[in-house]
Amino acid sequence: MTAESFVFIVLGALALVGAIATVFARDMIRMAAGLGAFFLACAAFFVYWGAGLLGVVQLFVYVGGVLVLMVFAIMLASRASDGTPRLESRHDLAAATAAAGLFVMVFAGLRGVVPDSVDHAIESSPDLVAETLLGPMLVQFEIAGVLLLAALVAVVILVGREDR
Amino acid sequence: MSLLVLTMGLFCLGLYGVLTRRDLVAVLASVEVMLGSATLFLIGSAATRGPVGPEAGAVEATGVLLVVLAAAKAAVGIALVVSAQRRIGTARADDLTELRG
């Protein structure tokens, strides 16, 4: 086994375990922990593939921001554990069929397009990303800023006032 | 191939969670899994071609913009859940039946 496939298997297993915990855990705090493991595995993948800045951004924004926000939402809006048995849902079988069907469809469609193994890396650096964001992708960068402002205003309007 | 299997598996796992979870915070977490796997596939499939120079910068910048979008989406989604809890008194999808026909 080469070092590349070993790293891929270890990180992939961590991401898979995290995602399974996120989707199946009854206890909400365990769900948040699984989500954290998934985010950490994603960040490690990004660093491993050469996108170091993206890995750091992923760590800061997701693990430091979104995950903490999720835990706060669990405290504010959900009970600590999901009381009803999950298997009670009438839609379990249909949902599993839909997910498996999508997997088969996309896998059949993209099988020949994606190369077998990830044996290269992205030769990127933070200054290259900055040059791209403030050069050819300036419009997208500004739109992202406007979107963040709109999201901020929306959040303040949604939860800001008690009397509405 | 293994990259496609892994990211598509994660994506479909997230889809299953979105469709079956009752708690809105758990639905949001499953959506995060779907988004994360899509970003993973973008960066991974770019890495298989080994881009250099401006092309590599564009790949990573796209990933950073995706993270920004996901963060804004998560903030608005969680605000909606908290406001549903405050106004209607529940954050479970089964209990939000005001639009039932």
Residue B72 has pLDDT above 50, yes or no: yes
Judged by a CB distance cut-off of 8 A, whether residue B49 touches chain A is yes
Which pLDDT belongs to residue B51?
Answer: 76
Helices (H) and strands (E) in chain A, counts: 7, 0
Judged by a CB distance cut-off of 8 A, whether residue B68 touches chain A is yes
A50/B47 Cβ within 8 A: yes
Which pLDDT belongs to residue A89?
Answer: 59
Cβ atoms of residues A37 and A20 within 8 Å: no
Residue, of B10 and A5, whose pLDDT is higher: B10
- Can you give the pTM of this predicted structure? 0.89
Q: What ranges in B21-93 are assigned the alpha helix state H?
A: 24-47, 54-87
Judged by a CB distance cut-off of 8 A, whether residue A134 touches chain B is no
Which pLDDT belongs to residue A111?
Answer: 81
Which pLDDT belongs to residue B1?
Answer: 66
Instruction: Say which residue the tokens 């191939």 belong to.
Output: B1
Which pLDDT belongs to residue A85?
Answer: 43
CB within 8 Å of chain B, chain A residues 99-128:
99-100, 102-103, 106-107, 110-111, 114-124, 128
Which pLDDT belongs to residue A78?
Answer: 65
- Could you give the CA distance from residue A40 to residue A23 in angstroms, rounded to a whole number? 17
Which pLDDT belongs to residue A42?
Answer: 94
**With the CA atoms of A153, A139, A136 and A54 taken in that order, what torsion angle do they form, in degrees rounded to the nearest 10?**
20
Cβ-based contacts of B93 with chain A (< 8 Å): none
Judged by a CB distance cut-off of 8 A, whether residue B50 touches chain A is yes
Instruction: Say which residue the tokens 């809105």 belong to.
Output: B24
| Closest by Cβ to B58, choosing from A123, A137, A158 | A137
| Closest by Cβ to A91, choosing from B4, B8, B20 | B20
Low-confidence ranges of chain A (pLDDT < 50): 80-81, 84-88
B68/A147 Cβ within 8 A: yes
Residue B33 has pLDDT above 80, yes or no: yes
Judged by average pLDDT, the poorest of A17-26, A73-82, B10-19, B67-76 is A73-82
| Closest by Cβ to A8, choosing from B2, B62, B80 | B2
Please tell me what DSSP assigns to residue B89.
S
Cβ-based contacts of A119 with chain B (< 8 Å): 48
B32/A66 Cβ within 8 A: yes
- Could you give the CA distance from residue B19 to residue B12 in angstroms, rounded to a whole number? 10
| Closest by Cβ to A95, choosing from B20, B44, B46 | B20
Residue B81 has pLDDT above 60, yes or no: yes
- CA angle (B46 as vertex; B42, A34 as ends), nearest 5: 40
Q: Using one digit for the tens of pLDDT, what is the confidence trace for A19-65? A: 999 998 888 888 999 999 999 999 999 999 888 899 999 999 998 88
What's the whole-number average pLDDT of chain B? 86
Which pLDDT belongs to residue A80?
Answer: 46
